Amino acid sequence: MRVFDLGEMKAFPYECREKNVFYQVKEFKTRIVELPPGGEMPACQMASHVIFYVLDGEVSVTANSATAELKEKQCLITGPATLSMRTEKGVRLMGIQIVKT
């Protein structure tokens, strides 16, 4: 068992996103994602299931052609998809990628 303080974790920019992974095993990996106001994550094809949980801020997440607006304390769960996100105010979230079996 491990406890993580998500509020204290440093988040690196998208270009260094692998440094944001704070836990990884064969079945899943977990990372912190942080985007500044006006920031975005470009479209990427995810072969895994994904959970995004908003810790702070707001974000618009697009999975394939469907878009959802998420606020603090909300989460999005999706199967494998092409994902992108954009935020006007800034966002800090936890992302969990779960291997598709």
In a domain, 55, yes or no: yes
In a domain, 7, yes or no: no
In a domain, 1, yes or no: no
Domain count, the chain: 1
In a domain, 42, yes or no: yes
In a domain, 61, yes or no: yes
Residues contacting 84, CB < 8 A, separation 6+: 40, 41, 42, 43, 44, 61, 62
Q: Which residues of the chain have pLDDT under 50?
A: none
Domain containing residue 67: 14-98
In a domain, 9, yes or no: no
- What is the domain-level CATH number for residue 37? 2.60.120.10
In a domain, 5, yes or no: no
